[in-house]
Structures are given as C-alpha cells and as structure tokens.
Amino acid sequence: MNKLISTGILVGLLFTGWFLDIHLSVADKVNKAFPPRPEVRIQLETLQSLIPSDSSSLESFNNAYDSQMMLRAFSCTQGISLSRFDSVQHIQQLPIDRDCLKQKDDELLETIGINLVGFRLTQPPLRPLIKLGPPAIIHGVDGVDVYAGQSASKAGVAVLRGNRSEFISVEIPGGKKIATLPTIPEGSHAGYSVSPNGRVLAIVVNNKDMRFIDNESGQDLWLARDVNQIFAWLPELQVALVRSNKNRTENGSLSLVDFKRGNIKPFDIAGRNQSWALNLSESPSRLLVGSHKDFSLIENIRTPEGVKATVIKDFRIKSPTGNVSARNPTLMLDGKAIVFVSGRDFMLFNLETGVEKYWQSGEVVGTNYAKFTEDSILVDGHSFLKTGTTRSFILNIKDSTLSPVETVDGSEGIIYELNGRTGFMRRGYQKVWVGDSLQTGRSDSLDDLIEGRKLERQLQALEQEERLSKARLEALKSGHLSAHKEFVPVPLQPLVPRGIGLNESAYRAILPRERNIYPHVDTPSGRQLPAPARPAGIPADAPAMESPAAAPAALPATEMYSASANAARRQEMSNTLKRMLGDIPVNAKVEGVGVYEAKDRISAGVNVIIKKSEQPIVLMLSAYEPVRWNLIKEPGANLAAVISTGYNLSQVQGAGSIKTVIKRGSYSYKQNGEGYQALNNEAVLWAGKPISKFQGDYWGTVFTVGN
C-alpha cells in the first residue's frame, strides 16, 4: 500500500512539474535547467538597471539577448532528443555539453559587456570640458602616489595611476576625486585609454585582454578577451577600433567593436603591421590608420549591416630616416598636418600637400611632448647651455623656432599629452600638473640651435682628441708610455648618435687608460674628471693634460647658437683640424682601408702601399683590434694626411712628416656593414668630405691605394 502511495506521489509531482513547464519552449526549459552562470545574471541585472525601461536600446538588446539564449539551448543539446513534453527536471538529468554552455555564457557576457560600454559612451561628458589655464597641481588622492595619467579628449576627466597600480578618476584641472577605481596590478603600464566623454577606462590586462571600467562608479563593465589595444574611439558611430587577436587575419588584426549592434567584427581595411590610429574628424567620421612608413585616410559610415570603412587616400613617408616610431602622431594645423616622433627627432607630414619636414631636433630637445596650440608643442630641451640643467620650450612647427618657457610651475617632470586636446600633463614626484597656458620668452631659430649644438659637440670632440694626441706624444717622448701599451685592448662605448663626438659619460667609459695616465683629462662640459690612483709603474711626474681656459658664463641661446656664433665654431674647428692634419688640399680625396684584425694577429701588422697619384690622398684607416699599419710610399705618392681610428688604438709607421691622427672611434671592414656609415661620418668631420673608395677585409695583409 505504501509503495503504491509513493508511486502516486511521484507521478503527481512529475505531472505537476510537467504542467508548470508545459507553457515553456524547449529552449526555455534547457536554459531553465542549465541557467547562465552567476556573473552573466549579475551583469544582465546591471545593464537592465542602467538603461531606462522605455528605451529602444533596451528593447533591441533584449531581442538580441533572447536570440542568443535560444541559440545557446539548441547548440548545447545537439544530438540529444528533446520534446516539448519533457520537464525541466528531466532535462537536468541529461548529458548536456558543459563546455558548450561555458562558451555560450562567455558570448553572453561579451554581448552584455559591449552594450554596457556602449551605453556609457552615448552619455554626455562625465565632467564638462573647460579651459585649464596655467599649470595646476594635483597631489596624490587618498594617499596614492601618482605614477602616470591619461585624460579624456572631450571631458574634464583624467585617470591617475599610482605606484601600486591603483587607479583614481579625477576632475581636471581641479583634481577633485570622482571615484576610486579597482587596483589592477596586472594592468599594462602604457596600454590604457579613457573614452572621449571620460566615462570609461579601458586597460590591457595580462598583455592579452582589455578590461573596461566605469569611471563614475568604479564598476567593471566588460572583460574583452583577446583584445589588447584601443586604437581609436569613434563615439559618433558607437564603435571602437581595436587590436583583436581573436579575429586576427593574415593581413592584420584590426577589429571594430560595434557597441550598437553588440558584436566584434574584423575591420574592413586590411593592412600589415598597423601600429597607430588617429581621429581626424567626426562628420564625416574619418581616421588615419598606419604603420611606421605607410598610412591611410579612412572614412567610416554606418549602414544597416554595420559600419563600413573606405580608403580615401594612401600616404607614404618618403624621407629615408622618417618613420612613426614612438607613439601616435598628433593632429596639428587644424587637421592639415600630423607631427610625430621619428627615432630621436621630430617630423611633420602635411596631409594636404604631402610635404615632409624633418628636424634633427634630438640634438636640442627630447621626444616627450604635448600639443600646446595648433602650431606648437611643449618639449624639454637638453642641457646645452653649459648650465647642467634642462629647460622647457615651445616648439613652433610652422616657424621652426624654440621659445623658452618662463612659467616656473609645472616646468619639471615627464610630459604627457592630453589625448585629443591642447594642453599638457606633467608627472613629478607624487604629483601631476595640468594646464594649457604658459609664459614664453624670445624665439630662437631651431635650425641655428641644431647646427650650433652639433658644431659645439664636434668642436669639443676635436679639441679633446687634440689634447689626448698631444699628451700621448709627450708621454712617448719622455718614456712614461711605451709603444706596446698602445696594444692593450680597452672596452669602448658607442659614440654619441650620428658619430659627432663624445659626451661626458662616453668619455668616462672610453678613456679609462688615458685617465690613469693623464688624470686631468677634460670632459666636453669643461669639468675635470676626478683623478684616480695611478697604476703601478707610472711616475708621479708623467705629463698631464693642458687645462683649458675657464668656460664662459652661460649666454642666452639666441647668442650662444646664433649664426655668427656658429660661424665662429666652424672657424675654430677649421683651425683645430689644420693644427692636427695640416692644410688638406681642396682637390684631395679620401680613401679608406678597414680590417677587423691583422691576419693571424701577426705583430708585423698590415701593409698599405701608396702608389703615385695626381690627387692628394687622405688615408682613413680603421680596425677593431690594435693593428700596426705599415705605410709604404712609392715614388710620386701624394699622401696629404692619415687618420687611424678604431675600437682600440693602433700604430702607424712610415708616414714620415705627414700629419697623422691616431684615435679611438668608428671602425668597419666592409662597406655594407653597420659601422661603415659612422666611419664615413668621421671622414666628413675630419677631412671635410666622404670616403670615395673603400677596401676592407676581416683579416688584412696588404692593400694598395692611390692607383
């Protein structure tokens, strides 16, 4: 009897369950039996609470979400027989593909996340965009030591990052806290961006995913899997251009996150090695997208099928040394041109005319900058006024001038751009400054400054080499330095860029042996290095270097590097070269010979036969290992001067009365080698012209020149 009652109860429960579920579709029953995981439901509730119930956006999202839920149920029950008469309890006992459910839940999270971010992007600016004025200081908020910051292009909002990867959204310029954001130790130090309206922070995490955070509440909006870079926000179309490894194709990895349609699709325009994108205009919606050398103007429009991209014009940087190398370009001249860092220099590309302008500005200013006006940028100058300090300048890209910044506040720290707007952010110790107004002084010609700086360094290098050569000769004559000491290898650091002389740190690294022998070797800045202990065997009365006259007091740049001052430097260089190499005839040619070392490292060295020639010859010798160069002059040999350069000091025999310079510097033994250009630059510096003929071999024995 009891068994019969139990069976009846079970049948009744099953009937009741079936009766309660009879109005549900098979898909609804599957999703009820296996509901999405909790984080999906939480994000869904968040979205539904944010978007007004009467909004067409919410209705559109609900329709898309319902479609995905139906697809979830059918996809994950393939191969399983189901009917509308099956109850939820029955379906729960079936072997549903759990991996399929997880994948579909991830897709649901993506749809919800895209819509959450998209809703925030359609809202007005989190704080109004206002003029910043003179530099205003923002100290660490809530005890956060500020490390860096990013700003919004159309809102008075910045996100500050602390030394411990804390993030805080603040108003600018006032610095009032908006919200404490999550601490993200796995977040990229450079790969983060703030939406134009200041409402969303996007940051790369674990070098592969993108985390989107609400700047007003600190709430997580979406974790975009395999999206690792925001190239550009396009709020006018409700999309963002991103780098997506998920949708990577053979020709590129750019994708569009469509916040309106709730999906991610490959970008229409395929390309290779795209590394940057720049918003050009909103109506029409246009972008510049490019790599180091090539970039395109792309117009985007929304169609019923989504956003369609079309190439309007292609560009290519023609300058051999020009390329977009360090960061996104900056739109200048009211959208007519872009400015960007190329290596250690600045370059301008006119989008209307295609005209390129390249400044060798690395001689004068650094590469951190911020857009100050439509025709100028804020930069930091190098210490080129012999003061030992740096100074900020405004670089005018139309006039090619530098104007010193006279405003004291906010004149130190690393310069950051305010993304998409004029003004700057500077990060100092535990604080940042923001502003868009500065007092400046008299403008100087950038070209004159660059030329003067290069001439100054060249002259310093020549004068230093003259003093070293003189001291070595005196030491040899007095017996304090024997010839074999010249063959001791000495580690050499690279010359300063462009092969135009040595800076102080290079001298400290390059000349350890000379400093031991000549403890008063002077540095280019005019300061004397401290005298180290002399090595054993070097007498206390060994000849010392001549001390130069005291450096003149620092002059304004307009006088220090004026055209007349540069002319005086060129004359002084000419005088120094004449003292060291004599009068080099105007019709002289430079012939170069290079080896890595003498064959079998024989002490006999390398023979160079100088044959009869009508043109005078300046002989440029270069080697890595110390080499004894044996010059054999045939009758009629017309040798004007000899320059021996290399990683180590070599010897030159047979020059007779011909002026000879032996120095450390560039070396090359093949014309297509990486060191050849630097060697050629030294030939231009010392002889006034490039190498016209070059012979080289790894192991050298005999070379013939002049024929």
Residue-wise pLDDT tens digits, 678-694 = 999 999 999 999 999 99
pLDDT: which is higher, 643 or 385: 643
Report the alpha-carbon distance of residue 618 to residue 589 in Å, rounded: 6
What is the pLDDT at residue 391?
A: 83
Q: Residue 89 forms beta bridges with which residues?
A: none
pLDDT band at 486 (very low <50, low <70, confident <90, very high): very low
Residue matched to tokens 């019923």: 304
What is the pLDDT at residue 58?
A: 81
Return the sign of the alpha-carbon dihedral for residues 92, 93, 94, 99: positive
Per-residue pLDDT, averaged over 79-106, amounts to 88
Please, what's the b/e burial string for 572-611 (b: 16 or more CB within 10 A of its CB; e: otherwise)?
ebeebbeebbeebeeebbbbbbbbbbbeeeeeebbbbbbb
Q: Looking at the predicted structure, is the pLDDT value of residue 643 above 90?
A: yes
Q: Taking Cα atoms as reference points, which of 156, 153, 180 lies closest to residue 166?
A: 180
pLDDT: which is higher, 246 or 428: 428
Helix/strand/coil for 291: coil
Per-residue pLDDT, averaged over 410-438, amounts to 89
pLDDT band at 326 (very low <50, low <70, confident <90, very high): confident
Q: Taking Cα atoms as reference points, which of 575, 555, 302, 337 lies closest to residue 462?
A: 575
What is the pLDDT at residue 674?
A: 80
Q: What is the pLDDT of residues 502-524, one digit of tens each?
A: 333 333 333 333 333 333 333 33
- CB-CB contact of 231 with 214 (8 Å): no
Spell out the residues 6+ positions from residue 500 whose beta carbon is closer than 8 angstroms to its own.
454, 457, 458, 461, 681, 685
Helix/strand/coil for 167: strand
pLDDT: which is higher, 400 or 556: 400
Lowest mean pLDDT across 1-15, 87-101, 175-189, 580-594? 1-15
- CB-CB contact of 655 with 631 (8 Å): yes
Report the alpha-carbon distance of residue 30 to residue 69 in Å, rounded: 10
Q: Looking at the predicted structure, is the pLDDT value of residue 540 above 50?
A: no
Q: Looking at the predicted structure, is the pLDDT value of residue 551 above 50?
A: no
Query: Residue 565 corresponds to which amino acid?
Result: A
What is the pLDDT at residue 550?
A: 34
Spell out the residues 6+ positions from residue 324 whose beta carbon is closer than 8 angstroms to its own.
275, 276, 290, 291, 292, 293, 295, 317, 340, 341, 342
pLDDT band at 261 (very low <50, low <70, confident <90, very high): confident
- CB-CB contact of 397 with 376 (8 Å): yes
Report the alpha-carbon distance of residue 340 to residue 329 in Å, rounded: 5
Q: Looking at the predicted structure, is the pLDDT value of residue 88 above 50?
A: yes
Report the alpha-carbon distance of residue 168 to residue 152 in Å, rounded: 14
Long-range contacts made by residues 99-104, C-beta under 8 angstroms, separation at least 24?
Answer: 100/75, 100/76, 101/34, 101/72, 101/76, 102/37, 104/68, 104/71, 104/72, 104/75, 104/76
What is the pLDDT at residue 702?
A: 93
Query: Residue 652 corresponds to which amino acid?
Result: V
User: What angle do helix axes 56-75 and 38-50 make, rounded to 10 degrees?
Assistant: 160
Adjacency order of strands within the sheet including 227-234: 227-234, 239-244, 254-258, 263-266
Per-residue pLDDT, averaged over 311-321, amounts to 94
Report the alpha-carbon distance of residue 182 to residue 614 in Å, rounded: 78
Q: Looking at the predicted structure, is the pLDDT value of residue 18 above 80?
A: no
Report the alpha-carbon distance of residue 111 to residue 114 in Å, rounded: 5
Report the alpha-carbon distance of residue 396 to residue 114 in Å, rounded: 42
Nearest 5°: the CA angle 55, 56, 59 is: 95
Per-residue pLDDT, averaged over 331-356, amounts to 96
Q: Looking at the predicted structure, is the pLDDT value of residue 385 above 50?
A: no
Report the alpha-carbon distance of residue 252 to residue 469 in Å, rounded: 56
Spell out the residues 6+ positions from residue 530 whose beta carbon is closer than 8 angstroms to its own.
none
pLDDT band at 54 (very low <50, low <70, confident <90, very high): confident
- CB-CB contact of 239 with 257 (8 Å): yes
Question: How does DSSP classify residue 260?
Answer: T
- CB-CB contact of 48 with 58 (8 Å): yes
What is the pLDDT at residue 398?
A: 94
Mean pLDDT of the chain: 83
What is the pLDDT at residue 252?
A: 57
Q: Looking at the predicted structure, is the pLDDT value of residue 199 above 90?
A: yes
pLDDT: which is higher, 141 or 538: 141
C-alpha distances in angstroms, 687 versus 274, 282, 583, 619, 627?
A: 43, 56, 10, 10, 22
Residue matched to tokens 């010359």: 495
Residue matched to tokens 């030992």: 388
What is the pLDDT at residue 510?
A: 33
Count Cβ atoms below 10 Å from residue 198 Cβ, excluding itself.
Answer: 30
pLDDT band at 389 (very low <50, low <70, confident <90, very high): low
Q: Looking at the predicted structure, is the pLDDT value of residue 249 above 80?
A: no
Spell out the residues 6+ positions from residue 229 whose beta carbon is closer than 8 angstroms to its own.
191, 204, 210, 242, 243
pLDDT band at 565 (very low <50, low <70, confident <90, very high): confident
What is the pLDDT at residue 214?
A: 96
Question: How does DSSP classify residue 86?
Answer: -
Residue matched to tokens 């800045």: 525
Report the alpha-carbon distance of residue 59 to residue 47 in Å, rounded: 12
- 3-class secondary structure for 241-254? EEEECCCCECCECE
CA 261 and chain centroid, separation: 35
Residue 16: Cβ-neighbour burial (10 angstroms; 0-12, 13-18, 19+): exposed
The DSSP result for 603-668, as a single string, is TT-EEEEE-B-SS-EEEEEEESS--EEEEEEPTTB-EEEEEEEESS--EEES-TTS-EEEEE----
- CB-CB contact of 534 with 516 (8 Å): yes
Question: How does DSSP classify residue 543?
Answer: P
Per-residue pLDDT, averaged over 403-418, amounts to 90
Count Cβ atoms below 10 Å from residue 333 Cβ, excluding itself.
Answer: 16
Per-residue pLDDT, averaged over 451-475, amounts to 85
What is the pLDDT at residue 587?
A: 94
Q: What is the pLDDT of residues 569-627, one digit of tens each?
A: 999 999 999 999 999 999 999 999 999 998 877 777 899 999 999 999 999 999 999 99
What is the pLDDT at residue 81?
A: 84
Residue matched to tokens 């590097």: 561
Report the alpha-carbon distance of residue 229 to residue 204 in Å, rounded: 7
Helix/strand/coil for 338: strand
